[in-house]
Amino acid sequence: MESASFQFVAFGLAVALVANFSRSAKWRSAILLLASLFFVWTLTPRPAQALPFAGFLAIGYLALILVNRGFKRLVSWSVIALVIAYIWLKKYTFLPNATFLTVPYITVGLSYVFFRVLHLVIEAGDQEAGIHVGPLQYLTYTLNFTTFVSGPIQRYDQFQQNFAGDKLLEIDTAVFGEQMERIVRGLFKVNVLATLLDAQRVDILVRLGQPDAMIHKAGWAFLLIVVYPFFLYCNFSGYIDIVIAMARLMRIRLPENFDRPFSATSFLDFWNRWHITLSMWLKTYVYNPLLITLMRRFTSVSIQPFLGVLCFFVTFFLIGVWHGRTSEFALFGVLQGGGVAINKLWQIFLAKRLGRKPYKALAENAVYRIFARGLTFTWFAFTLFWFWADWGKLDRIASSLSVAAWLAVWPAVWIAASLVLAAYQAVRARALAVQTAQGPVLTSRYVRVAWASALAFITFLIYALLAQPAPDIVYKAF
């Protein structure tokens, strides 16, 4: 069953229907567990290929039991064991090939299960009473099919609130309509926009490898740079739209994972808007503990802002390393961490040079924000080359243009991104400013229904015309 496919949506809606046969928390939890086990089974060619994955879950649950029984000193060792098991199962390239299992096994969803298991063990160690999770609750939380493949990453306490009888989420006609609209938007993003953008990227790569005038190749390189960030956004956020809506119809609230990321005016702000649950998890369990430890060790007030810079680098470097097991992803992590660290250093520099109030005024300046937004997009687009291409492909892309041409392309991307994104912000603000007594016309029920209907028609039409599945969810690989 492919993620974000029509079959996946039909499956999710069927599960939601059955789950709502009873308001009982036990019933809804049991249906979710059975649906999740079935979904994982559809991803497993042979049952034996799920054994290493099951072993990882067993290690995590054993660690949780021991920590809950008072062995708090085992938290660090448990975390280390889980990290080693994860790296080994994912076959990170810095480990010898001879140490890996030679039989095939599934790793789909392992990265997100890894975060959930670590969260349980760490929180059990931090809380005096621990976190008492039964085996069925553990499996329901870690294997939740709406978050199994590509997140979002949800805390256990937030997940359990969905099954508290006195806090049962209600579903009425308005809620049902809103979630169906969101599913349609998600399908449109994944099956139409992402499909067309991916086809454009493939075509550009072919054109870059053919003899052509340098000015034409520069134009194709420009398009290659700007196409992939939008493809990735449509592909990933579309999937998140679908699963959040399906979960809500099961009376389960999932955390949001995107907040208009291309509106960000700094790289720090970007990661507060893109894959929010991932960055928040790492800030909670990496950035904050590391910063506290360093501040206790280095008490000088003048050096403390730079400790934050170091912690930001480490945190967002790990984001890159988590995404993949190769040296390309290690460099992707360096670029993510470097971008955030440089952004923070720039803020420290301007605050000291100008003063806090003048710096705040500069940060709110319309022109400054326009070009800061464009620069943020450009840097993210640059880092993504190491996200989707290997060294061989990167070499072919780099050699397709002269150095002078590349030096012209990147500023052009920055300027174009600044102007286009600024125009989008202005048009969106103007559209939302058109009001009636009930609120903005753009978000009214009638406009939303008409828009969702049009998207549904276009989605089914394009899907039928292309007669091929959309690109798989990129984050499924992680």
C-alpha torsion sign, points 108, 169, 235, 373: negative
Whether residues 196 and 276 share a domain: the answer is: no
Residue 3 belongs to a domain: no
Residue 149 has pLDDT above 80, yes or no: yes
Residue 152 preceded by cis peptide, ω within 30: yes
pLDDT of 247 > 70? The answer is yes
266 and 254 part of one domain: no
CA 10, 201, 107: angle at the middle one, nearest 5? 50
Asked if residue 221 belongs to a domain, the reply is: yes
pLDDT of residue 398: 94
Pair 266, 241 in one domain: no
Mean pLDDT of 116-125: 95
Same domain, 160 and 295: no
- pLDDT per position as a tens digit, 170-219: 899 999 999 999 999 999 999 999 999 999 999 999 999 888 888 999 99
- Are the C-beta atoms of residues 408 and 219 closer than 8 Å to each other? no
Q: Which of 145, 167, 189 is the last residue of a domain?
A: 167
Query: Cα separation of 376 and 411, whole Å?
Result: 13
Residue 225 confidence (pLDDT): 97
Q: What is the DSSP letter of 3?
A: T
Q: What average pLDDT does the segment 379-392 reach? A: 96
The more confidently predicted of residues 81 and 130 is: 81
Is 409 within a domain? yes
* pLDDT greater than 70 at residue 165: no
- DSSP letter string over 334-381? HHHHHHHHHHHHHHHHHHHHH-HHHHHHHHH-HHHHHHHHHHHHHHHH
Mean pLDDT, rounded, for 65-75: 89
Domain assignment present for residue 4? The answer is no
Q: What is the C-alpha separation between 408 and 337, in angstroms, rounded?
A: 26
Report, as an integer, the average pLDDT of 153-166.
88
Do 406 and 443 fall into the same domain? no
- DSSP 3-state of 133: coil
pLDDT band with cut points at 50, 70 and 90 for residue 465: confident
Q: Is 80 exceeded by the pLDDT of residue 146?
A: yes
Domain boundary among 167, 202, 219: 167
Do 420 and 300 sit in the same domain of this protein? yes
214 part of a folded domain? yes
> How far, in Å, CA of 278 to CA of 281, rounded?
5
Q: If you average pLDDT over residues 404-412, what whole number do you get? A: 95
Please, which pLDDT band fits residue 166 given cuts at 50, 70 and 90? low
Instruction: Please check the confidence at residue 477 and state whether its pLDDT lies above 80.
Output: no
State mean pLDDT over 465-471: 72
Residue 421 and residue 295 in one domain = yes
pLDDT in tens, 259-274: 999 999 999 999 999 9
Query: pTM, whole model, 2 decimals?
Result: 0.94
If asked whether residues 310 and 403 sit together in one domain, one would say yes
Written as one letter, the residue type at 97 is: N
Residues 374 and 310 in one domain: yes
Is 89 a member of any domain?
yes
For residues 449-466, average pLDDT? 85
**Are 228 and 354 in a shared domain?**
no
Domain-embedded: residue 355: yes
Give 274-299 pLDDT, tens digit per residue.
999 999 999 999 999 999 999 999 98
Separation between Cα atoms, residue 111 and residue 86, nearest integer Å: 8
Give dist(CA 193, CA 456) in Å, integer. Answer: 13
Q: Do residues 224 and 352 share a domain?
A: no
Specify the pLDDT at position 372. Answer: 97
Mean of per-residue pLDDT scores for the chain: 92
- Is 138 part of a structural domain of the chain? yes
pLDDT of residue 304: 86
Q: At residue 444, what are phi and psi to the nearest 5 degrees?
A: -70, 160
Share of the chain above pLDDT 90, in %: 77
- Among residues 167, 193, 227, which one ends one of the domains? 167
pLDDT at 284: 95
- The amino acid present at 109, given as its one-letter code, is G
Structure tokens, 291: 């910063």
80 and 209 together in one domain: no
Q: Which amino acid is at 189?
A: K
* DSSP one-letter code for 170: P
Query: Which pLDDT tens digit goes with each residue over 22-68?
Result: 989 999 999 999 999 999 999 998 989 999 999 999 999 999 999 99
More confident residue, 70 or 366: 366
For the cut 90, the answer to whether the pLDDT of residue 238 exceeds it is yes
Alpha carbon separation from 37 to 30, 137, 397 (Å, rounded): 11, 13, 43
Per-residue pLDDT tens digits for 417-435: 999 999 999 999 998 888 8
Q: What is the pLDDT of residue 133?
A: 92
Question: What is the structure's pLDDT at 384?
Answer: 97
Q: How far is residue 32's CA from residue 35's CA, in Å, rounded to a whole number?
A: 5
Residue-number span of the structural domain to which 78 is assigned: 24-167
Count structural domains, the chain: 3
Q: Is the pLDDT of residue 113 over 70?
A: yes
Place of tokens 């229907």: 17
